């Protein structure tokens, strides 16, 4: 099953400083048919105005992945962590027993990012945070694993994804990205029992013959092999979860 969820159909919240699109039910947006996808609970497509951001707030028992598309995000938390994650790079916050954090766009231009929440395999773990640079050039024409945990850490051998010093997840899931030039193809060996969710921040794709536009969501399950072709230069973000 490959279900395309057009960008125009996503939940929308406009807060002035934040323009948010919700792939799944979140905050004031509720759609009982889009409560999550397997262990994936949230996928927000956020545009954060310059010199603004999320004031301190708290979470518990959730793996929160931030994939920065343009600009940069600056992180602060109650553990004393702080850092700046730039375009193309990723941060992971394991909320565990509880963590308070703030995310600010201290740049002079808007920042765009995906915020993805995955349910952890177990509750009550110690909270943590980490970030890493992932040069976009390293994923031209191939998958690169950005974050992984559980079976996701060993799945790369099967599908050929490049795995270096990935960010850890406390969930049986992995986050991958690829840049696919126009006219090129890329495959992915999927487990039919798992839940995949894919978004192309830019470009236009075909997945097993199904057309996908930029920022559409694609919910996938029951598939063994994906063949992805690019009609335009495309960036791809994929989460593979239980």
Indicate whether 200 pLDDT > 60.
yes
Indicate whether 165 pLDDT > 70.
yes
- Is there a contact between 188 and 213 (Cβ–Cβ < 8 Å)? no
Which CATH number do you get for residue 169?
2.60.120.10
Per-residue pLDDT band at 30 (split at 50, 70, 90) = very high
Place of tokens 């730039």: 86
Q: How do strand 225-230 and strand 90-94 relate by DSSP bridges?
A: unpaired
Residues 63-106: pLDDT tens digits?
999 999 999 999 999 999 999 999 999 999 999 999 999 999 99
Whole-prediction pTM value?
A: 0.95
Q: How far apart are CA 36 and CA 64, in angstroms?
A: 14
- What is the pLDDT at residue 101? 98
- What is the pLDDT at residue 158? 45
Indicate whether 137 pLDDT > 80.
yes
Structural domain that includes position 148: 2-241
Residues 203-227: pLDDT tens digits?
999 999 999 999 999 999 999 999 9
- What is the pLDDT at residue 163? 55
Classify burial at 100, counting beta carbons within 10 Å of its beta carbon; exposed 0-12, middle 13-18, buried 19 or more: middle
**Cα–Cα–Cα angle for 126, 127, 129, nearest 5°?**
140
- What is the pLDDT at residue 157? 43
Indicate whether 162 pLDDT > 80.
no
- What is the pLDDT at residue 155? 59
Q: Which of 4-8, 118-122, 154-158, 184-188 has the lowest mean pLDDT?
A: 154-158
- The pLDDT mean for the chain works out to 95
Q: How far apart are CA 115 and CA 68, in angstroms?
A: 9
Question: How many structural domains compose the chain?
Answer: 1
Indicate whether 159 pLDDT > 70.
no
């Amino acid at each position: 099953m490959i279900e395309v969820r057009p960008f125009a159909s996503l939940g929308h919240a406009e807060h002035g400083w934040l323009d948010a699109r919700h792939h799944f039910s979140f905050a004031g947006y509720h759609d009982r048919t889009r409560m999550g996808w397997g262990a994936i609970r949230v996928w927000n497509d956020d545009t954060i105005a310059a010199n603004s951001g999320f004031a301190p707030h708290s979470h518990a028992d959730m793996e929160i992945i931030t994939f920065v598309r343009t600009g940069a995000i600056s992180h602060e938390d109650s553990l004393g962590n702080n850092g700046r994650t730039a375009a193309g790079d990723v941060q992971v916050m394991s909320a565990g027993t509880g963590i308070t954090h703030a995310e600010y766009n201290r740049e002079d231009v808007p920042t765009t990012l995906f915020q993805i929440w995955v349910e952890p395999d177990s509750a009550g773990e110690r909270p943590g945070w980490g970030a890493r640079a992932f040069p976009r050039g390293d994923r031209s024409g191939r998958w690169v694993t950005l974050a992984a945990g559980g079976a996701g850490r060993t799945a790369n051998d099967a599908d050929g994804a490049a795995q270096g010093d990935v960010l850890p997840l406390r969930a049986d899931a992995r986050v991958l990205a690829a840049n696919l030039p126009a006219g090129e193809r890329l495959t992915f060996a999927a487990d039919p029992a798992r839940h995949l969710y894919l978004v192309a921040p830019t470009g236009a794709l075909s997945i097993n013959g199904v057309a996908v536009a930029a920022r559409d969501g694609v919910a996938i399950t029951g598939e063994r092999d994906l063949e992805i072709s690019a009609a335009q230069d495309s960036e791809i973000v994929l989460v593979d979860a239980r």
